[in-house]
Amino acid sequence: MAFIDAAIAPFSRQFPGLAPASEQQLDPGHLGDVLGSLPAARIGLVPAMRPADVLPLIGWAPSDWSASALAVAAVLRSWEERFGARLLEVGFAEIRLLVQRPPRGLDAARRVAAEHYAFADECGECGAISYVAQITASLLNQPAVWQFCWD
């Protein structure tokens, strides 16, 4: 239990609620630089009304979740609306999002970090144990790409 308390600090075991939407967009040039720094990848075209709907349509689900990606899609829809987060990359047990309106400031980043912690086994770097404090730092330092892994 002490591990969980340390992992979710500064919050208690009660979920703090959803983070407020962010209105301030990252500079388009910055987003272009971020995309340009990523390795080459294949493009998948899926007929979907919005990016969050792609995962259930292709039958993808995190490796340790149920057989459906509907819960993941619901979270992604919320992040699309509040932060301009769009599905960027899909792997076997990981996804990455490109984020146009990341949280600004420490308090907002902490609230989003609590959501990330509740959402995925690992946030940021796959294979790393994620604490709310670590996720918060990554949101402030590298706000344009959010990465999630499940094992």
Neighbours of 121 (CB within 10 A): 18
**Residue 44 forms part of a structural domain:** no
For position 64, what pLDDT does the model report?
Answer: 62
Neighbours of 28 (CB within 10 A): 9
**Residue 32 forms part of a structural domain:** no
- Residues 136 and 116: their CA atoms lie apart, in Å, by 9
**Residue 29 forms part of a structural domain:** no
**Residue 132 forms part of a structural domain:** yes
**Residue 7 forms part of a structural domain:** yes
**Residue 131 forms part of a structural domain:** yes
Number of domains comprising the chain? 1
4: helix, strand or coil: helix
**Residue 30 forms part of a structural domain:** no
pLDDT tens figures, 96-144 = 999 999 998 888 998 899 888 888 868 777 766 678 888 888 898 888 9
Neighbours of 94 (CB within 10 A): 18
Q: Which domain holds residue 103?
A: 2-11+51-149
- Residues 44 and 57: their CA atoms lie apart, in Å, by 12
Per-residue pLDDT averaged across 42-68, rounded?
Answer: 85
- Residues 114 and 74: their CA atoms lie apart, in Å, by 17
Helices (H), 20-143: 28-37, 54-58, 70-83, 106-119, 132-141
Selection from 142, 82, 91 nearest residue 112 by Cα: 82
**Residue 97 forms part of a structural domain:** yes
Of the ranges 39-43, 66-70, 81-85, 146-150, which one carries the lowest mean pLDDT score? 66-70
The structure's pTM equals 0.86
